[in-house]
Amino acid sequence: MIVIGGGLAGLSSAVALAEAGLRVRLLERRPHLGGRAASYVLPGGEHVDNCQHVTLGCCTNLEDFYRRAGAADKIRFFDTLCFAAPDGQRGTMKAAPLPAPLHMSVSFATFPLLSFADKRGIAGALLAITRCGGHPADVSESGAGISMLDWLKKHRQTDRAIRRFWEVILVSALDEDLDRMDAQYGIDVFWKAFLSTRAGYRIGIPRVPLGDLYDGCREAITSRGGEVILRAGVRGFRVTNGRIEGVEREDGTMETADYYLAAVPQDVLPELLPVEIVDREPAFSNLKKLQTSPITGVHLWFDRVVMNEPFLTLLDATTQWVFNKTQLYGEGKENSGQYLQLVISASYKLTQRSRQEIIALCLEELRNVLPATREAVLVKGTVVKEMSATFSPAPGSDQWRPAQKSPLANLFLAGDWTATGWPSTMEGAVRSGYLAAEAVLSDAGAPGKFLQPDLKPEGLARWWAQES
């Protein structure tokens, strides 16, 4: 079994297949594992994630993967979400001892950064989502899909409610602007994370650099007779009579196996296949219709402590999230300075701006919400732009996402861009890996099950889900 790609999709499928008894050879072109959820070391010795990635309580497959990889204890979960407005005012949200979907109602009702009119409209829209079990008729009956922004306007959301509530959560979760986002994806986020269960919204953040999460993956593969080969890029597949006969590596060597699993980005896969096959098979040719969205990560090192919270969500700002990496890594006692990582999803407006301009913009926004930064010295700063960080969850984009079993007899596909029912998230990537592993085993005549079910709706949400 050859798996091409060492991101989350490739790693999850490779670990699952190795556990099922297949001898797996994983080829990764980079010098490290993790794909878009990886880390690297700067010349000064600092460990930098290409972008901060988090998990939620509703991400059942990602949790299962971390367990298989021996990384479950490297994730720290938080129950309180903290928000900051440009005037410095703060607000928090957390669950109260009430059944779903009422568990967030107390903190929502007392949240100081929204007006009564904002909350009334939001509550009405959340109720509409809950009463249909996360599948509103005005979305499912729309055919090609409608944008989240159009759905929110239809449900009479105020401009501030859109800006300070829906946009803050959804743009970060789905890496896309509301007017380019399929409404069903956005509704799924609120149903699965905030409404159907009490624990779905809990945010999990790695306590270590992202690269340290995957050490167990190599062991899980190699201890079962497999191989993990880094700096092993591939040129393409050799195809004969609708079947993969081998894959050529960039060094000219040919690798062969009974089964092949491509866990590469959707724009890379067609380049690995003969042109005539791509043109003939819609599963491959339609991939060009999937667009991508950018993410920008900003890394700032200050000469002193400027932030006490582990993370903070900014309202009415270009910067969306601020992560206190020094605290999250447990380095505060030894280090008098502080390292913050800022995340800006759907960062279209920043793609042409220089590193210096982006850092200056972010510093200005931080001075509004973190007063200590006004006197602090910025020791070092860097910017990481992921121009094609995720596929865009545009209205109707699900129709272009292929199944994990490809039209070629022994080629299988994994990637958050395949048909998983989830958008481009780490959870979606792991789901694709598990589904691809199941497809391989089914084809081999030894069916196996890896995909974990969603959290079951609880409380009143359970009753509404059954009624819908």
What would the two tokens of residue 316 be? 């009415």
Using the predicted structure, report yes or no on whether residue 28 has a pLDDT greater than 70: yes
Cα–Cα distance for residue pair 203/191, rounded to 1 Å? 15
- The three-point CA angle 351-354-359 to 5° equals 100
pLDDT tens digits along 408-428: 999 999 999 999 999 999 999
Cβ partners under 8 Å of residue 219, min gap 6: 70
Range from 39-43, 147-151, 280-284, 456-460 carrying the lowest mean pLDDT? 39-43
In terms of DSSP bridges, do strands 55-56 and 260-262 run parallel, antiparallel, or are they unpaired?
Answer: unpaired
- Average pLDDT value for the chain: 94
DSSP state of 147: B
Which comes out higher in pLDDT, residue 140 or 177? 177
CB-based contacts of 389, cutoff 8 Å, min separation 6 = 36, 51, 175, 292, 293, 294, 295
Length of the chain: 468
d(CA 138, CA 131) in angstroms, rounded, equals 13
How sure is the predictor about 143, in pLDDT bands with cuts at 50, 70 and 90? Answer: low
Residue 334, pLDDT > 70, answer: no
Please give the share of the chain, as a percent, with pLDDT higher than 90: 87
Q: How far apart are the C-alpha atoms of 41 and 130, rounded to whole Å?
A: 45
* Structure token digits, residue 37: 């959820």
Q: Record the pTM.
A: 0.95
pLDDT confidence of residue 332? 59
Question: Which residues, at least 6 apart from 161, have a Cβ–Cβ distance to it below 8 Å?
Answer: 114, 118, 119, 121, 122
Which residues are CB-contacts of 41 (< 8 A; sequence separation ≥ 6)?
47, 48
pLDDT digits (tens, 9 = 90+) for 64-96: 999 999 999 999 999 999 999 999 999 999 999
Share of the chain above pLDDT 70, in %: 98
Q: Which helix (H) or strand (E) element contains residue 198?
A: none
pLDDT digits (tens, 9 = 90+) for 210-235: 888 898 999 999 999 999 999 999 99
pLDDT at 266 over 80: yes
CA distance 397 to 163: 24
Structure tokens at 366: 């931080």
Tell me, what's the pLDDT at 115? Answer: 97
Say if residue 37's pLDDT is above 70: yes
Q: What band does 48 get if pLDDT is binned at 50, 70 and 90?
A: confident
CB atoms within 10 A of CB 254: 11
Residue 381 has pLDDT above 80, yes or no: yes
Model confidence at 50: pLDDT above 80: no
For residues 340-344, give the mean pLDDT.
97
Residue 254: strand, helix, or coil = strand
Of the pLDDT bands very low, low, confident and very high (cuts 50, 70, 90), residue 164 is very high
